Amino acid sequence: MFAIVGTIPERDFPLEVGKIALMNGSLFIGERKINVNRGTPALLAAAIQAGKVLGEQEPHGFLVGDVGLGDGSRQLYEYLTEHLGKTSFDTLVFHYLQPDIDWHNKVLSAINEIPEKPILIADAGSMYVAKMSGKSIEYDLFTPDAGELAFLADELAPHPFYTRGFVLHEDNRIPDLIAKAYAHKNAAQYLIVKGKTDYLANREGIQATIEQPSVEALEAIGGTGDTLTGIAAALIAAGRQVAEAVEMAAKVNRLAGFYANPNPGTSVREIIDCIPRALEEIIKITEETGNVSWLAGRDKDWTKYDNFGNCELASSDRGRI
């Protein structure tokens, strides 16, 4: 059983707690409808789509409206502090929340009251505050992009806005930034650095790189980093080890984008629709080869493969890639 904590960019969205459902392209928590767009809604929808393939129940949601003023986030922090310690979630995902060190530390204290400590995943604002509070080591997975990695690597920056310029311009030195983040204890047990190439790393260094399929149009579509986090969370909640789950999630995310045949006007919802097909493919080939890194190093001409825009996985298509 896993839960996702985050905010909805609507001023009047109240604090809502409960199971999240995905129906007819929209999310629902109770009777309240949420449009699927970038941010926490994209993460939620991706996790649900992956969970359908994995036989997992829908995630539990802790959601509130916040348009950047922090009032909703503080309300949610307070609720989590009072109630999280009484839960039994095995995986917790923290996403968009206004960073607040004091409240963050209170929430971590509540988590420590759970009899078996859950796997902790953080992205976006929740990842920032974990670093700002000096508690990164408490987390099992961070999912930064290159700019966020620069913030983690800058031991002096109290907030991403203050990341030093020379660090920000080290995008072509991802391995060095990863090493700095771990040297300063500002990284979780694992990192997946999202970008043109995805890097899976831990304190021992880079464990895997994922580059294919490479779909250039995906870079212009907001929310694809959120979907990767959601897929990874579902795989971890289903029992996969963190490293294996994250590498699989990065491949699934890219393959879903490939199947969606995107252009710069494509919405993240169209990519989310393709997650089940992509995940079934990755699971099948991983089971056949016994190797989650089956794609690494393969010189594949992805332009030869058609069936773009068709996210239904027909039995005749299985194993094509």
Report the CATH number that the domain containing residue 170 is assigned in CATH.
3.40.1190.20
Cα separation, 134 vs 109, in Å, equals 14
What SS3 class is residue 1?
coil
Residue 242 CA: distances (Å) to CA of 84, 177, 231:
22, 21, 12
Decide: residue 44, CB within 10 A, 0-12 exposed, 13-18 middle, 19+ buried.
buried
Residues contacting residue 153 through CB under 8 Å, at least 6 positions apart: 167, 170, 176, 177, 178, 180, 181, 184, 186
Confidence of residue 307 (pLDDT cuts 50, 70, 90): very low
Tell me the whole-structure pTM to 2 decimals.
0.91
Q: What is the mean pLDDT of residues 244-256?
A: 96
Which tokens is 265 given? 């006007």
Cα 143 off chain centre by: 6
**pLDDT at position 166, please?**
61
Q: How many domains does the chain have?
A: 1
What per-residue confidence (pLDDT) applies to 316?
A: 36
Q: What pLDDT is recorded for position 176?
A: 93
Mean pLDDT of the chain: 89
Terminal-residue alpha carbon distance, the chain = 32
Q: Model confidence at 2, in pLDDT bands (50, 70, 90)?
A: very high
Q: Which domain holds residue 32?
A: 2-317
DSSP 262: -
- Specify the higher pLDDT residue, 206 or 309: 206
Partners of 142 in beta bridges: 122, 191
Q: Is 155 exposed, middle or buried (0-12, 13-18, 19+ CB in 10 A)?
A: middle
Among 68-72, 187-191, 303-307, the range scoring the smallest mean pLDDT is 303-307
